[in-house]
Every structure is written in C-alpha cells, then in structure tokens.
Structure 1
C-alpha cells in the first residue's frame, strides 16, 4: 500500500508484440480472458507537456483483483512507452493506482514534486490518466487513472469475468474506447 496513492490496482507492461504477449499470459500464465482494443482512441495525449499523436493497442485482463495491462505503441510519436522500449526494455513499465477523485490525487502528487511524464484522456473528463516520471528502475513509473466514469465499470466487468473464466474465448476484441 502506498501512503500517497493507495493500493496498486494494475501492473502495466509495454511490449513490442501484444498478440504474442497475450498468448503468453493465456498459455503459460493461465490469465485471461483478455479484452483487446486494437486502436485506443484518446481525447488527447501529451508527452512532457507537448501534444503527441501517440497511437497504441491495449489488452486488459485480471489475475485476482490485480489488472494486467499490455500496451503496444503503434507509431514513433513521443511517449514514455517509446522511451522505455528505446532504452532496450520490455515488460513491466508502470504500476497504476485508481481513483474516483482524480483531480485531488493529481494535485497532491504535483504538490509532492512529482513530474508528469505523459498524460491523456479517454472517453471524456472522467477518463483522465497521468504517468509520473518516477522511474528509478524498470517498472516503477506511477500512473494514476480516473475510474469515476465508464472506465471504472469496464474494469469491474473485466475483474468479474476473470474470476469465473473457464479458459474459453481467451482474446475478446473490443471497439476503441
């Protein structure tokens, strides 16, 4: 439990081949089903304060209460994902903390001298997210994500389905969110 952000809700992995990563998690780790979004539609995306035309695919599944996220960036636009891959790494890139009071947590992080590496919004104002540039070693980037809107109910659906998953239909394509 983080004294600042609360409980870790998601481990985010940046990968070069999202299909291969989903197959690994299904066939080797037994985790699924995966909800796959080929082209995530962001309302905006900024990297280090500048607009970026970053494009990505995302897959989400749960192992118990912990959500596993796979991200494959689809272009060379600036992002912390690209920086991570360009440094020769792949795998765990961030831990995500979820909140229904996004602005208060965002403001608190800034007041504690956290710096935004990249941030964006998916599906309206209640779909904001920010990644703070906290990486001291791989996997330590902190993300906060607003779950007060439809994203929260989607994440809860994924958790519930995973709890009773029998191995059928391991990859489920979802329209862009």
Structure 2
C-alpha cells in the first residue's frame, strides 16, 4: 500500500485496439465482464491547463480487488494517453487511487509538490486528475473521485466479476450513471 495514496485500485492500459484488448483479456486471461463505453462523456477536460474535447473509448473490468481499465484514444486531442502512444508505448500507462475526499486529497498532493497534467469529470462526483509522475512507463498517478454514481458503477463492475462465468456476455455497455 502506498503511504501517500492508499491502495492501488486500478491499472490503466492504453491500447491501439480496445475491442481486441477486451477479447484477449476475457478469453486468454479470464478477466471480465467488460463494461464498455465507446465515447466517454468527459467534461471540464484540461491538459497542461488548456481545455479540449477528447474522444476516448474505455472498458472496465475487475480482477479481484483491482480494476483494469483499457483506453483507446479516438481523436488527436492532447492527452497523457496520446503522449504515451506517441512515445511508442502501449500497455500500462497509469495506476489509479480512489477517493471519496477528492478536494482534500488533491490539496494535500499539490502541497506535497505533485504537478497536475490532465483532469476532467465523468458524471456527478466523478472527477479525476493525473499527475506528471511518469518517471518510467506505467508510473503516471491518477486520483479518481468515487463518491457518487461513478463509485456505484465501480462497485457494480467488481460485483459482476465475482459471478461471471467467463463466457456469458463478456462485453456490456456502461450503465447509465444518472440512474445509479
């Protein structure tokens, strides 16, 4: 466990082909079911202090306690994901820590010298921030707010993985966050 952040709750993989990645993870590794959103509705997105409109596809599944996130960029908006791919990398890009005390945790981390690089929101109380911590591939740190509907969705994904039989409906749509 990290003494700064708590437990790593998510491993974020940037891929060129999210459909092939979901297929590999479910069929070969037995991880699933995958909850897939071909266009994540990110608002208030910022990269290096500038506002953009990203189009990212995301798939989420759990392997035990840890959530696996697959990310495919669909446009050329500046992002840490795009930077990772342009550097010739694919695979693990970030680790995420989850919080229900987002504002206090961000303030604490900024006070410790962490520098924000990318941020945004997905639904109510679904803020996220990535810090400029890529000292080697896969070390970017994300802090993700899970106090609202996004946290409930993450609970649903984790619970679904516990009873998934490995074959039935390996890819499912994201639930409507406004109904959680």
Aligned CA RMSD, in angstroms, stands at 1.0
Q: CA deviation at 1:61?
A: 0.2
1:43 counterpart SS class: strand
* Residue of structure 2 equivalent to 1:158: 157
Matched, 1:80 2:89: no
CA distance in 2, matches of 1:56, 1:175: 17
In structure 1, what is the Cα distance between the partners aligned to 2:154 and 2:62? 9
| Residue correspondence of structure 1 range 1-150 to structure 2 within 5 A | 1-124=1-124, 126-150=125-149
Deviation of the 1:176 alpha carbon: 7.1
Superposition deviation, residue 84 in structure 1 = 0.3
Alpha-carbon shift at residue 154 of structure 1 (Å): 0.3
State the TM-score, normalizing by the size of structure 2: 0.95
Distance 1:55 1:122 in 2: 13
Q: How many residues align?
A: 176
Q: Unmatched 5+ residue regions in structure 1?
A: none
1:79-98 Cα deviation digits (max 9, x unpaired): 00000000000010000000
Distance 1:175 1:64, change over 3 A: closer
Distance apart, 1:42 and its partner CA: 1.1
Secondary structure (helix, strand or coil) at the match of 1:97 reads: strand
User: How far does residue 174 in structure 1 lie from its aligned partner after superposition?
Assistant: 2.5
Structure 2: how far apart are the matches of 1:94 and 1:12? Answer: 5
Matches of 2:59 and 2:176, distance apart in 1 = 11
Which deviates the most, 94-103 or 164-173?
Answer: 164-173
Q: Which runs of 5 or more structure 2 residues have no equivalent in the other structure?
A: none
Cα deviation, 1:48-93, whole Å, max 9, x if unaligned, reads 1110121100000000010000000110010000000000000100
Aligned equivalents of 1:5 and 1:175: distance in 2? 28
**Per-residue deviation, residues 9-68 of structure 1 (Å, max 9, x unmatched):** 000001111001001101110100000001100122100111012110000000001000
Contact 1:37–1:176 under 8 Å retained in 2: no
2:153–2:175: 8 Å Cα contact kept in structure 1? no
